[in-house]
A and B are shown apart, each in its own frame.
Chain A
Amino acid sequence: MASDPYNSAVRQRFANPLHAGDLQAGYPDVVTARARDSDAGVALTLAAELDGTVIRRLRYRVFGCPHLVAAAEEICGRFEGKTAADLQQFPLTPLMELLDVPVEKTGRLLLLEDAVQSLARDILAREPS
């Protein structure tokens, strides 16, 4: 049998998308970041609900492949309860290793990284210095 393109980490997160969904846009404690690559047919939205400097809830919507869905699920699960500064330190390479992302899908994960960095910047821009 040909090798399975999805490892157990991808399958588990894809089957249990606990952080998929929306947060009410427009509320003062909700920050949203979007990224898309129309050529690749990929789009994603990240939404953070803040409690002061802490990310209380993190949600995603993804139009993309199972690897991207699993990556978004992992990011949202990992950074709830953390700060935007933590989010900025998000390391892409270990995530790609965890999910065994094929090299041809690297661009999709970079899109996720763009959205994460954009979200972190927007949150930090709101925080009082």
Chain B
Amino acid sequence: MSERRSGGPIYLDNAATTPIDPAVAAAICRCLSDERVPGNPASIHVLGRASRELVERARRQLGDLLHVDPRTLVFTSGATESDNLAIVGAARLRSHRGRHLVTMPTEHKAVTDTFAALERQGFGVTWLEPDRDGILPIADLEAAIRDDTQLVSIMHVNNETGVMQDIQEIGECCRRSDVLFHCDAAQSVGKLPVDLSALPVDLMSLTAHKIYGPQGIGALYLADRPSCRIQPLLHGGGQERRLRPGTLAVHQILGFGEAAVIASERRSEDFRHLERLHDRLWNGIRNVEGIRRNGSANASFPGILNVSVDGIEGESLMLALEALGPEPICVASGSACNSQSGEPSYVLRALGLDDRLAQSAIRFSFGRFTRESDVDAAISAYTNAVRHLRKIMPMKAA
């Protein structure tokens, strides 16, 4: 485990991206500097075939992590592209059967914005509300599925709250109705057990940079069933079963494979580490006046802890966490993924939080390289930041 340099920022934003594992970085560097593998993996000469072998090895490594035939995996640029490819590709291919789709407003923007775009193109979308804990009531899903429903898209672990959906139950519900089930698993694969040989999931979006791999590479899983065909979004080559044309990024794919191997080997150990960090942080801040945790306490991934505090403005809280302690604390705000808009999180609002509480939310997210001393620094910084802002802010907010 690498050591963080003393005095540097404390990184608790692993749900946004994880630092690359040194072993993965070393493998990528070796690939980039190896003059034997400059070939385009689509080329049939010896150097092209060498590159192709690296790609296929990575595909096998990823397949091993997910317990699937590697031929069911299509490399993409990341989970956002995978989401778009799965949702639009499936909706368009099946549109002659029906144009009704189902999802939740608490999905990642890569999903909600894609569904919104399909709505503008004439598809009907049912947006299922979560309960107060962020969980999808399965009875609501059953009631929403109609004869013309073609696709359900529900994420596994929510990127803001860490809330886990029961994708086994959701998938079974979809199978009973012959509806495709797409799952954005960017936050869960490599961290939770995901056995696609047993799970009733038809399409799953993955990304490397949440499992200590490189940014800019992801994959889409398509179950080996005739009904799981999709239309490509891009045209121009025969790569990736014609579903995702374009020259493959060999070094990134190789890094994704290496990250998958490490994730597979370390998953249980990593998970216990995350549980310890999560509990340490929550126990350290749970007595802060006005604090509440957002999302289910019982069905959440321990790598994420999302908290709000009454009477404290979110942007000021972020600056206080960055500027008032000895080391900046890098976390995400309640406008996570909307941090440039400053709008309160739509995910937290869907959980019933008012704008003020949603805007005060902070997402702490831990990773393999997070140390207990990092969490202790965050506890100190958070309690001091709230204390500092209580001197400035009225208890009765706007």
A residues with CB within 8 A of B: 6, 11, 14-15, 17, 20-21, 36-38, 40-43, 45, 60-66, 69
Q: A37-B398, A41-B356, A43-B398 are in contact. Are A14 and B316 (CB under 8 A)?
A: yes
Is the Cβ of B394 less than 8 Å from the Cβ of A15? Answer: no
CA of A69 to CA of B398 in the docked complex: distance in angstroms?
A: 14
Query: Please, could you name 11 A-B residue pairs with CB atoms under 8 Å apart, sorted by A?
Result: A14-B319, A17-B388, A17-B392, A20-B391, A21-B391, A38-B398, A42-B398, A45-B394, A62-B393, A64-B316, A66-B319
- In the complex, chain B residues whose CB is within 8 Å of the CB of A62: 392-394
- In the complex, chain A residues whose CB is within 8 Å of the CB of B397: 41, 43, 63
Kindly report which residue of chain B lies nearest to residue A34, judged by CB atoms.
B394
CA of A9 to CA of B323 in the docked complex: distance in angstroms?
A: 13
Kindly report which residue of chain B lies nearest to residue A35, judged by CB atoms.
B398
Is the Cβ of A43 less than 8 Å from the Cβ of B394? Answer: yes
Kindly report which residue of chain B lies nearest to residue A14, judged by CB atoms.
B319
Q: Is B324 an interface residue (CB 8 A)?
A: yes
Q: A63-B394, A63-B398 are in contact. Are A41 and B355 (CB under 8 A)?
A: yes
CA of A66 to CA of B316 in the docked complex: distance in angstroms?
A: 5
Other-chain residue from A11, A17, A21, A63 in contact with B313 (beta carbon distance below 8 A): A63
Other-chain residue from B316, B323, B324, B394 in contact with A61 (beta carbon distance below 8 A): B394
- In the complex, chain B residues whose CB is within 8 Å of the CB of A20: 391-392
Is the Cβ of A41 less than 8 Å from the Cβ of B324? Answer: no
- For window 306-335 of B, CB contacts with A under 8 Å fall at 311, 313, 315-316, 319-320, 323-324
- In the complex, chain A residues whose CB is within 8 Å of the CB of B398: 36-38, 40-43, 63-64
Is the Cβ of B392 less than 8 Å from the Cβ of A61? Answer: yes
Further contacts, 10 of them, CB under 8 A, given A38-B398, A66-B315:
A11-B319, A41-B313, A41-B356, A41-B397, A42-B398, A43-B398, A61-B393, A62-B392, A63-B313, A66-B319
- In the complex, chain A residues whose CB is within 8 Å of the CB of B300: none
A interface secondary structure, majority = mixed
Q: How far is the CB of B328 from chain A (nearest CB, A)?
A: 12
Q: Is B165 an interface residue (CB 8 A)?
A: no
Is the Cβ of B393 less than 8 Å from the Cβ of A11? Answer: no
CA of A69 to CA of B324 in the docked complex: distance in angstroms?
A: 15
Kindly report which residue of chain B lies nearest to residue A65, judged by CB atoms.
B315
Q: A6-B319, A11-B323 are in contact. Are A17 and B391 (CB under 8 A)?
A: yes
- In the complex, chain B residues whose CB is within 8 Å of the CB of A64: 313, 316, 398
Q: Is B161 an interface residue (CB 8 A)?
A: no
Interchain residue pairs A-B with the least CB separation, the first 9: A43-B398, A65-B315, A20-B392, A61-B394, A63-B397, A66-B319, A63-B393, A20-B391, A36-B398
Q: How far is the CB of B356 from chain A (nearest CB, A)?
A: 6
Kindly report which residue of chain B lies nearest to residue A64, judged by CB atoms.
B313
CA of A66 to CA of B385 in the docked complex: distance in angstroms?
A: 13
CA of A39 to CA of B323 in the docked complex: distance in angstroms?
A: 28
Q: How far is the CB of A103 from chain B (nearest CB, A)?
A: 13
- In the complex, chain B residues whose CB is within 8 Å of the CB of A65: 313, 315-316
Kindly report which residue of chain A lies nearest to residue B359, judged by CB atoms.
A41
Q: How far is the CB of B187 from chain A (nearest CB, A)?
A: 24
Q: How far is the CB of A115 from chain B (nearest CB, A)?
A: 13
Is the Cβ of A14 less than 8 Å from the Cβ of B323? Answer: yes
Q: How far is the CB of A1 from chain B (nearest CB, A)?
A: 11
CA of A15 to CA of B323 in the docked complex: distance in angstroms?
A: 8
